[in-house]
Amino acid sequence: MSPSASSSRSASRTSGQPRRAAVIGGNRIPFARQNAAYAKASNQDMLTAAIEGLVARHGLAGEQVGEVAAGAVLKHARDFNLTRESVLGSSLSARTPAYDVQQACGTGLEAAILVGNKIALGQIESGIAGGTDTASDAPIAVNEGLRETLLTLNRAKTPGQRVKALTGLRPSQLVPEIPRNVEPRTGLSMGEHMAQTAKQWGISREAQDEIAASSHHNLAAAYDRGFFDDLMTPFLGQTRDQNLRPDSTVEKLATLKPVFGRGEGATMTAGNSTPLTDGASAVLLGSDEWAQERGLPVLAHLVDAQTAAVDYVTGNEGLLMAPAYALPHLLARQGMKLQDFDLVEIHEAFAATVLTTLAAWESEEFCRDRLGLDAPIGALDRDRLNVNGSSLAAGHPFAATGGRIVASLAKMLHEKGSGARGLISICAAGGQGVMAILEAA
Amino acid sequence: MAGTYAGLVNSPVGRKLATQLGLPRPATLRRYAVGEPLVEGSVLVGGLGPAPVAERVRALLKSEGIDTVDELADGDRVAAVVADLTEAAEPSDLDALRALVAPALRGLRPSGRVIVVGREPSSANGFAQAATRRALEGITRSIGKELRAGATANLVLVGDGAEANADAAVRFLLSGRAAYVDGQVVRVGPGTPTEPADWAKPLAGKVAVVTGAARGIGASIADVLARDGATVLCVDIPAAGDSLARTANRVGGTALQLDVTADDAGRQILDHATARHGGLDIVVHNAGITRDKLLANMDQARWSSVLDVNLGSILRMNEVLLADGGIRDGGHVVLVSSIAGIAGNRGQTNYGASKAGVIGLVDALAADEGLRARGITVNAVAPGFIETEMTAKVPFATREVGRLLNSLNQGGLPVDVAETIAWFSQDANAGVTGNVVRVCGQSLLGA
Ligand SMILES: NC(=O)c1ccc[n+]([C@@H]2O[C@H](COP(=O)([O-])OP(=O)(O)OC[C@H]3O[C@@H](n4cnc5c(N)ncnc54)[C@H](O)[C@@H]3O)[C@@H](O)[C@H]2O)c1
């Protein structure tokens, strides 16, 4: 350890502030469209590949890191120890502990916050946060009726009891249950929920298509300038996100038929909503000292994080509006304004998600009545928003999105220079939202 | 080897057939494995007159626990012969070589070795000595063609006063590391070699960069350098990142996804090596491509991409890597040429240009006063037919010819090229610079 590192450590101790976790680097595999390039890959395959690329880039083969926290949203029952199994299949030391995290689309970012907080508290010196999801290799469960029959059969002790249990079988019970993108308490898909919120806020079709087109253009430009050369490792012959359409235009997007919402006011299409995607990501975090000992440059630090949830069940608030509620807490704690951020990453679950979130922060009424603020949070300079593209272009394998954004934003901030600050906002099923602030080292 | 010529003639039926037809039968070559002795059996060591190098070789082998004999008793079988002809001055002196080596050949053990030691013809005194010195090359190459069962013959030319520096070359050529090096001339000059603490880890503590490390020969180079103790920075294009990660994790090194033709490639490599590994000692420029077409049909894109990847990028990277603050003093640079760069190849004007250019570059860098003063060696390997994904794509007939047109009657393996590169990278081998060693099983092409 160098003298400067040890002095900064003791300085942070004496000031009573925990140290900050460093974001050192990241890796993801290109994201693929559902039932396409990764149709036969499992969550474990993809998470392992993401970890392997990260290990290679940072020279961690055989090393024991503090912990690996990752997860998946669509998960097979057999994957109860998904992350630990992925670690065992990786080049990391088998003595690296791991656990699964699950917070719908917030999984990846929440995992990074968990690892980051343990580092900040000095409980671990390094860790990997990640996420993976496959919409192709989805778990298929037996029908609830069949499941009950089978469990009864299993409990049966006599042949008579067994026969009795089996006579309860009905052909309809043989239809399997495939996971659906539906909120259990409302029976509405996430897209339908979003369509309601977009309508309430009067979000136009044009504005959504513009967000989508620029997502594709920004992501394509990032690839072209080699931005992902040290953030990505190819997988199964895929070297770029399969969903990326560099030649996407507002005009072409305008020709698509709405898929969510009904009638005249329906604005949400397959072009301005993220498609189902397969992929995985991983982020390397550590203390500054740990990074320095390995000659690993620190890209950024995890400054703060906040998770919020809204009551969407009563219809009182939109399903994906929780990030709007998380932000004021962060701003107050950090003494910042939204406009102070050099870069802002708002996960594009739908183009409309980004637009309603921005509209809410601009709305005096919303900020006063819902957030209890004296003044609106205000407008965000669009030049700072999702500058290297986001989920509309890259795709959104649910749990993998957090890791994608943390690593990319850390690198972008690093390119901007020391002190640059960035904000991450990710909405999640169940009316939740996860946010984090990064600052360039 | 299923489905190959070697597989056929080594099958029970095929073997009989091959013997009856007088077809060549490729031997299984002795290849180096950690912990194995330099050679399996005793070594006949002799020469003409005082034979100063023979004296050193006896000491070297003794330290390795290997028996040496001065002359052959009836029925003796040896694993190798080392013939020191450094004192040869007249054509009649050459009979000493015949007298020493000839009786040993019939009983030479499988994958045996004949090493002839001589002096540089260009530094000879007078016509007779120059002619005699050069004659050694003709003898050695002819022995190589005569030998069977995986045995090889090579010539080591030792500069005046550089006798001590020949140890590393003799060690290498005797060992299984040189399995596919045959009919070659190695030149040993001045320099200050340092022996490793442990010959099982001759590159311990060194940092190496290998370009094109995702697969093929490059992946094997990374494996061998790491086995020999080096920390390896593995470089390949981003699109090959998954195989690159496999190499890097296998060797416990780091992966850098980088196109070597990028303007800042040298800077990126040096920064990575310095930040992560504390410096750079060994540079292996292995990345290379082929874009074959007859010159009559060659477009500009094929032409310039091959020249830029195989030659232009190396020149640009070297500006940073070889400058002060780049590779450390006493470091080693190894380039990868090809027999196509020596012999030429139909449809490979672009490739032949680049690989001949590599040889020109090695000559110039090895002669550079600045690099010499810093003790930096620069050498090249010129692989012949090596079994890789590249050559697996060659049509069957052409491929079989490529495999057979050499003294060992088989293609080499990536590890054979890698072993030679690892030897060029040893501090113990500091006397060898400006060499182009073919790893070709004494291919007839360009010989
Ligand atoms: N295989 C043979 O028989 C043979 C014979 C003579 C010489 N060689 C030489 O040996 C070297 C390795 O050949 P191989 O058979 O392993 O080939 P290969 O094609 O299997 O591997 C070459 C590697 O270099 C990488 N590469 C290509 N362009 C690159 C670039 N611009 N930047 C970074 N990496 C790049 C490739 O991605 C690949 O991983 C080459 O220089 C080749 O010319 C091979």
Mean pLDDT, rounded, for A289-299: 97
The verdict on B168 and B61 lying in the same domain is yes
Among B215, B232, B249, B272, most A C-beta atoms within 10 A, so best to mutate, is B249
Other C-beta atoms lying within 10 Å of the C-beta of residue A367: 20
What is the rounded CA–CA span in Å between residue A212 and residue B293? 44
Dihedral of CA atoms A148, A154, A159, A164 in degrees, nearest 10, equals 0
Per-residue model confidence (pLDDT) at position A137 = 84
The verdict on B145 and B83 lying in the same domain is yes
Dihedral of CA atoms B127, B132, B134, B136 in degrees, nearest 10, equals 180
Ligand 1 pocket, CB under 6 A: B 211-212, 214-218, 236-237, 240, 259-261, 286-289, 309, 336, 338, 383, 385-386, 388-391
Confirm if A208 and A240 have CB atoms less than 8 A apart.
no
Mean pLDDT, rounded, for B72-90: 94
Q: Which residues contact A431 (CB under 8 A, 6 or more apart)?
A: A309, A310, A311, A312, A313, A317, A319, A320, A321, A322
Residue B325 pLDDT more than 60?
Answer: yes
Per-residue model confidence (pLDDT) at position B7 = 64
Mean pLDDT, rounded, for B165-187: 98
- Structural domain includes residue B271: yes
Residue B1 pLDDT more than 60?
Answer: no
Interval B83-92: pLDDT, tens? 999 999 999 9
The verdict on B20 and B159 lying in the same domain is no
Among A45, A52, A63, A229, most B C-beta atoms within 10 A, so best to mutate, is A229
Q: What is the pTM of this model?
A: 0.92
Closest residue by Cα to residue A198 from A308, A248, A272, A105: A272
Asked if A49's CB is within 8 angstroms of B276's CB, the reply is no
DSSP output for A284-306: EEE-HHHHHHTTPPP-EEEEEEE
Residue B119 pLDDT more than 50?
Answer: yes
Residue B432 pLDDT more than 60?
Answer: yes
Asked if B242's CB is within 8 angstroms of A59's CB, the reply is no
A208 pLDDT band, cuts 50/70/90, is very high
- Structural domain includes residue B198: no
The verdict on B10 and B35 lying in the same domain is no
Kindly state whether A69 is in contact with chain B, defined as any CB-CB distance less than 8 angstroms.
Answer: no
Question: Is A319 buried (19+), middle (13-18) or exposed (0-12) by CB count in 10 A?
Answer: buried
Interval B103-114: pLDDT, tens? 999 999 999 999
The verdict on B386 and B424 lying in the same domain is yes
What is the rounded CA–CA span in Å between residue A146 and residue B383? 65
The verdict on B298 and B419 lying in the same domain is yes
Q: Crossing angle, helix A144-155 and helix A159-167, to 10 degrees? A: 170
End-to-end CA distance of chain B: 27
Kindly state whether A130 is in contact with chain B, defined as any CB-CB distance less than 8 angstroms.
Answer: no
What is the rounded CA–CA span in Å between residue B32 and residue A264? 76
Closest residue by Cα to residue A200 from A359, A89, A401, A47: A359
Interval B28-49: pLDDT, tens? 999 999 999 999 999 999 999 9
Interval B200-227: pLDDT, tens? 999 999 999 999 999 999 999 999 999 9
What is the rounded CA–CA span in Å between residue A125 and residue A116? 10
Asked if A234's CB is within 8 angstroms of B241's CB, the reply is yes
Mean pLDDT, rounded, for A395-420: 98
Residue A437 pLDDT more than 50?
Answer: yes
- Structural domain includes residue B444: no
What is the rounded CA–CA span in Å between residue B162 and residue B430? 11
Q: Which helix (H) or strand (E) holds A122?
A: none
The Cα of B236 is separated from the nearest Cα of chain A by a number of Å equal to 11
Mean pLDDT, rounded, for A61-76: 96
The verdict on B406 and B297 lying in the same domain is yes
Per-residue model confidence (pLDDT) at position B379 = 98
Mean per-residue pLDDT of chain B: 94
Distances (CA, A) of B204 to B141, B282, B401, B427: 35, 12, 40, 10
Beta strands in B119-214 (DSSP E): 152-158, 185-188, 207-211
- Structural domain includes residue B197: no
Cα nearest neighbour of B238 on chain A: A229
Mean pLDDT, rounded, for B251-264: 98
Confirm if A88 and A94 have CB atoms less than 8 A apart.
yes
Instruction: Report how many domains make up chain B.
Output: 3
**Least trusted range by pLDDT, from A229-243, A368-382, B313-327, B396-410:** B396-410
Mean pLDDT, rounded, for B149-155: 97
Mean pLDDT, rounded, for A413-429: 97
More confident residue, B25 or B85: B85
Locate B185 and state its tokens.
Answer: 């001339």
Residue B6 pLDDT more than 70?
Answer: no
A396 is catalytic: yes
The partner residue sitting opposite A61, judged by closest CB among B241, B244, B252, is B252
The verdict on B21 and B35 lying in the same domain is no
Locate B73 and state its tokens.
Answer: 């008793």
Ligand 1 center to B336 CA (angstroms): 9
The verdict on B20 and B121 lying in the same domain is no
Q: Where is the domain boundary, B188, B223, B238? A: B188
B322 pLDDT band, cuts 50/70/90, is very high
CATH number (domain holding residue B123) = 3.40.50.720
Per the structure, the complete domain to which residue B295 belongs is given by: 207-439
Ligand 1 center to B353 CA (angstroms): 16
Mean per-residue pLDDT of chain A: 93
Beta strands in B41-96 (DSSP E): 43-47, 68-69, 80-84
Asked if B249's CB is within 8 angstroms of A56's CB, the reply is yes
What is the rounded CA–CA span in Å between residue B379 and residue B391? 24
Q: Could you give the domains of chain A?
A: 190-226+303-436 (3.40.47.10)
∠ at Cα A9 (A4, A12), nearest 5°? 125
Interval A131-148: pLDDT, tens? 999 998 877 777 777 777
**Least trusted range by pLDDT, from A2-6, A396-400, B437-441:** A2-6
Residue A4 pLDDT more than 60?
Answer: no
Interval A323-351: pLDDT, tens? 999 999 999 999 999 999 999 999 999 99
The residue type of A324 is A
What is the rounded CA–CA span in Å between residue B447 and residue B438? 10
Cα nearest neighbour of A53 on chain B: B245
Confirm if A90 and A126 have CB atoms less than 8 A apart.
no
Per-residue model confidence (pLDDT) at position B395 = 79
Confirm if B77 and B9 have CB atoms less than 8 A apart.
no
The Cα of A63 is separated from the nearest Cα of chain B by a number of Å equal to 9
The residue type of A86 is S
- Structural domain includes residue B17: yes
Upper half-sphere CA count for residue B378 (Cβ side, 13 Å)? 25
- Structural domain includes residue B201: no
The verdict on B295 and B422 lying in the same domain is yes
A440 pLDDT band, cuts 50/70/90, is very high
Distances (CA, A) of B367 to A242, B318, B328, B337, B378: 51, 15, 18, 18, 9
Asked if B245's CB is within 8 angstroms of A52's CB, the reply is yes
Ligand 1 center to B218 CA (angstroms): 7
A10 pLDDT band, cuts 50/70/90, is very low
The partner residue sitting opposite B249, judged by closest CB among A61, A232, A296, is A61
Q: Where is the domain boundary, B188, B218, B248? A: B188
Other C-beta atoms lying within 10 Å of the C-beta of residue B348: 23
The verdict on B344 and B404 lying in the same domain is yes
Query: Taking the CA atoms of chain A, what radius of gyration do you get in angstroms?
Result: 23
Helix or strand or coil: residue A440?
Answer: strand
∠ at Cα A81 (A190, A103), nearest 5°? 25
The rounded Cα A249 to chain-centroid distance in angstroms is: 26
Q: Which helix (H) or strand (E) holds B270?
A: helix B265-277
The verdict on B409 and B323 lying in the same domain is yes
Q: Where is the domain boundary, B154, B188, B222? A: B188
The partner residue sitting opposite B239, judged by closest CB among A56, A57, A234, is A234
Per-residue model confidence (pLDDT) at position A9 = 40
Mean pLDDT, rounded, for B343-351: 94
- Chain B residues whose CB is inside 8 A of the A228 CB are 238
Q: Residues of chain B with pLDDT > 90: what percent?
A: 88
Active site residues of B: 351
Residue B2 pLDDT more than 60?
Answer: no
- Structural domain includes residue B12: yes
What is the rounded CA–CA span in Å between residue B140 and residue B136? 6
Residue A14 pLDDT more than 70?
Answer: no
- Structural domain includes residue B195: no
Question: Is B206 buried (19+), middle (13-18) or exposed (0-12) by CB count in 10 A?
Answer: buried
Q: Residues of chain B with pLDDT > 70: what percent?
A: 94
Per-residue model confidence (pLDDT) at position A3 = 37
Per-residue model confidence (pLDDT) at position A6 = 39
Per-residue model confidence (pLDDT) at position A146 = 76
Residue A190 pLDDT more than 70?
Answer: yes
